[in-house]
Amino acid sequence: MREVDIDAVSLDRLATLLAPERAARLVRYVERARELLAGRTIWNVNATAQGGGVAEMLQFLLAYTKGAGVETRWLVLDGDPAFFAITKRLHNLLHGMAGDGGPLGVAEQRHYSEVLTRNHDRLESMVRPGDIVLLHDPQTAGLAGMLRETGAHIVWRCHIGRDEPTELTEIGWAFLRPHLEAADAFIFSRRAYAPAWLPDDRLWVIPPSLDPFSAKNTELSPADVDAALREASLVNTSKNRGSLRFTRRNGTPGTVRGHRRLVLDGAPVTRGARLVLQVSRWDRLKDMGGVLRGFAEHLDDLPPDVHLMLVGPDVQGVSDDPEGAEVLAEVRGLWQALPARRRSRVHLACLPMDDIDENAHLVNCLQRRAAVVVQKSLVEGFGLTVTEPMWKAKPVVASAVGGIQDQIIDGESGLLLRDPTDLDSFAKRLQDVLVDEEYARRLGTAARSRVRDLYLGDRHLTQYVDLFEQLYQQASDRGAGEGTGSGH
């Protein structure tokens, strides 16, 4: 288990985007949090410090928490390939997908518990009574019972799930249930994701949020976007005087590096092309292959200047996802099988993970360069890859699954695919926004407003304060009851 450094960031900059009454509410909550958590630490434990929405969300939420004067720390699990194969299996099952079809029996339970016991030994020595431990996703669930003896308040947050339970989801929950019953509270992105056996009085619904000032979301000029994408050899933009610099999470400057091959197999996007973009992990549930097929098979129905780019992380830099390399290889195989004319309008790219801030900046540039952003997931926990382009006022075409349904109002703040596997409908939705620029602008403008109203960090942080306050109040009530019963 290793600790991730957190750089404090003042909440004042977030307040500049909020209406006065909303900014004042945030100030009141910060004062409550400081009083409530004085002398206590909030611990966050997850599987990786980079790659995926959970790590990105923790990066900025914990920075704001620390900037508000609340002590917070972030730890990442130490696991082996067998452990992450088991937890990836659980990830797929909770989404209602079979994944690799491997077992979740006694041997898997034993190995899962052994790995988490080793992690627990270090964590137990640091956590104090009254602290709050936030455990994220199936990888950490087994720590809930182990940490009870520390006297800390244990909260398990699940960022994934499926609206309707199936036999597969029940297998996943059966594996996790013995580990989770000791937790004091449970957080889900949607109420429907919670299994029926969880008690309502310990259940909280807190959707994710984004940081509008992060390298992935901060405002950029068109010239800076073009300069970065040209230097990274992702898009053959025209030469200009745009800057290659970006600001890291800790406030220091960074510079986009060139002379790397980020586009796989083919050439960068041509200069005048309009871009259809999907950015996500190389995960079968994200259906990158389906996006490629839907685009390529309907290429004659789309404007001739439109290209597709599928972008994911360098799979060597995502330690907790053993399927990433397999999925990338499958997508590359589909690309190589295309006729040359169609292949020239489809581009696959892997962004480096050795500099997470540069990675975020390049995603920002690609999303701002895109004409349409796609998220054609088969299932989805929430989908920050939808929230991000919505904040950038881009028209988004996304599957009507999971938390995407909460973000997009179909036809108003984006377009929803009722059946993600219907490639004809997918192509028609793309065509709708690519041939009508005014319609695309209306969708993008409404999308940005919706994110401002519902998915910025102030809402997220205030919900956490309410949860923490309830945990301490419940502990106080239990203590008073025990005192009365014992005659003290």
Chain segment 429-452, per-residue pLDDT in tens: 999 999 999 999 999 999 999 999
Pairing state of beta strands 274-279 and 306-313?
parallel
- Alpha carbons 367 and 373: distance in angstroms, whole number: 7
Distance of CA 381 to the CA centre of its chain: 9
For 399, list phi and psi in degrees, rounded to 5: -70, 145
Q: Which of 200, 132, 188 is nearest to 468 (CA)?
A: 132
The torsion angles phi and psi of 397, rounded to 5 degrees, stand at: -110, 115
User: If you average pLDDT over residues 365-387, what whole number do you get?
Assistant: 96
Task: Kindly indicate the confidence band of residue 322, based on its pLDDT and cuts at 50, 70 and 90.
Answer: confident
CA distance 374 to 291: 8
Q: What was the pLDDT predicted at 481?
A: 62
Q: Is the pLDDT of residue 234 over 90?
A: yes
Q: What is the C-alpha to C-alpha distance for residues 295 and 434, in angstroms, rounded to an integer?
A: 13
Find all residues with CB under 8 Å of 276, minimum gap 6, and list them: 295, 306, 307, 308, 309, 370, 371, 372, 373, 374, 430, 434
Residue 382 CB burial class (10 angstroms; 0-12, 13-18, ≥19): buried
Instruction: Tell me if 183 sits within 8 A of 382, measured CB to CB.
Output: no
CA gap 479, 485 in Å, rounded: 10
Q: Return all residues near 463 (Cβ < 8 A) that are at least 6 apart.
A: 204, 206
What is the per-residue pLDDT for 488? Answer: 30
The pLDDT of residue 238 is 82
Strands 372-375, 274-279: parallel, antiparallel or unpaired by DSSP? parallel
Token representation of residue 318? 């995502």
pLDDT tens digits, 24-33: 999 999 999 9
- Of 373, 393, 375, the C-alpha closest to 383 is 375
Q: What is the pLDDT of residues 175-188, one digit of tens each?
A: 999 999 999 999 99
Reduce the DSSP state of residue 399 to 3 states and report it: strand
SS3 206: coil
Give the per-residue pLDDT at 484.
42
Cα distances (Å, whole numbers) of residue 128 to 65, 73, 465: 19, 13, 19
pLDDT band at 260; cut points 50, 70, 90: confident
Distant-in-sequence, close-in-space partners of 139: CB < 8 Å, separation ≥ 6: 46, 47, 77, 79, 83, 84, 87, 320
Amino acid at residue number 445: T
Which band of pLDDT confidence, cut at 50, 70 and 90, is reported for residue 476?
confident
Could you tell me which residues come within 8 angstroms of residue 309 by beta carbon, excluding any fewer than 6 positions away?
Answer: 234, 269, 275, 276, 277, 278, 346, 347, 348, 349, 366
What confidence tens digit (pLDDT) does each residue in 189-222 have? 999 999 999 999 999 999 999 999 999 999 999 9
Question: How many other CB atoms are found less than 10 A from the CB of residue 34?
Answer: 12
Q: Rounded distance, CA 447 to CA 434, Å?
A: 17
- The residue-averaged pLDDT of 395-399 equals 98
pLDDT digits (tens, 9 = 90+) for 14-68: 999 999 999 999 999 999 999 999 999 999 999 998 777 888 899 989 999 999 9
Mean pLDDT of 145-157: 96
DSSP state of 210: B
Question: Over the chain, what is the mean pLDDT?
Answer: 94
Mean pLDDT to the nearest integer, 403-427: 98
CA atoms within 13 A on the CB side of 364: 27
**Is residue 486 very low, low, confident or very high in pLDDT (cuts 50, 70, 90)?**
very low
